[in-house]
Every structure is written in structure tokens, then in C-alpha cells.
Amino acid sequence: MTDLYLRGLGFAPTDETSQARRPSFSQAWRYQHQRVAQDGARLFIEHPLGIDCCRLSAVVAPLAAQDVFATLPLHDKAALETAIAAYYAAHGGVGPLAPRPQPSTYRPYRRQE
């Protein structure tokens, strides 16, 4: 999977700040779908470091197995698209655009004017 492919499916990196560097896709990464489900649930996809799979979840960093909606092979695009459709079907359908996270502007080491 590539950044361009995931963006084409409606995902965006969870860290969009200018300091966020895009890791190579052989490293860990995490994206959030730009639309929430009808019931307000958000969809995240991540690739944990050192594991040849990606996980779909409603939480940013799932630690418990029940938080993971689907675990898919890393390069199975058809299974990913099917899992996304199943996620939204289970949550009442695709809803509005998710509000964009606002990065913190507080910088204690810089003088604010």
C-alpha cells in the first residue's frame, strides 16, 4: 500500500503537521479516514512495525484485540476495500467529513508575540 493509494480511498495521515515526515512504507504508519460513520465512529488504519499486515480500528492505537475491526495482509487491496465497506455498513453507513484535528500552537521554547 502506498500513501497515494490510501489517500485515494479517503484516508489521511494522522499527523499532518509540517514537521511530520512521511516514513517509508516498510516502517510503521497510521492513517485516519476522512469521513466518520453515521453513528460517529471513526476509522483508522495502521501498519505496526515489523508485522506484515495492516489493522482497521475505531481507535487511534488499538492495544486490545477487541478494538481491531479487521487485520489484513499488507498488500491485499481488495480485502481492504471490502473491510472498509463492511465497517461503514456495521456503523450505519458513511457520514459527514470528520473535523480536522487542530495542531497545538503552544511552543514553550519560542517567544509568542
Residue 69 in domain: yes
What total of structural domains would you count in the chain? 1
Q: Is residue 106 part of a domain?
A: no
pTM (2 d.p.):
0.78
Among 17-26, 50-59, 63-72, 100-109, the least confident range: 17-26
| Residue 73: inside a domain | yes
* Tens-place pLDDT, residues 60-99: 888 898 999 999 998 899 999 999 999 999 999 998 888 7
Virtual torsion, Cα 28, 64, 78, 22, nearest 10 deg: -20
Domain span at residue 62 reads: 3-15+27-97
Strand pairing report for 11-13 and 35-37: unpaired
Give dist(CA 88, CA 39) in Å, integer.
Answer: 9
108 inside domain: no
Tell me, what amino acid is at 22? R
Which residues share a beta bridge with 54? 72
Copy the grid coordinates of residue 49. Answer: 512495525
CA 39 to chain centroid, in Å, comes to 18
Residue 1 has pLDDT above 60, yes or no: yes
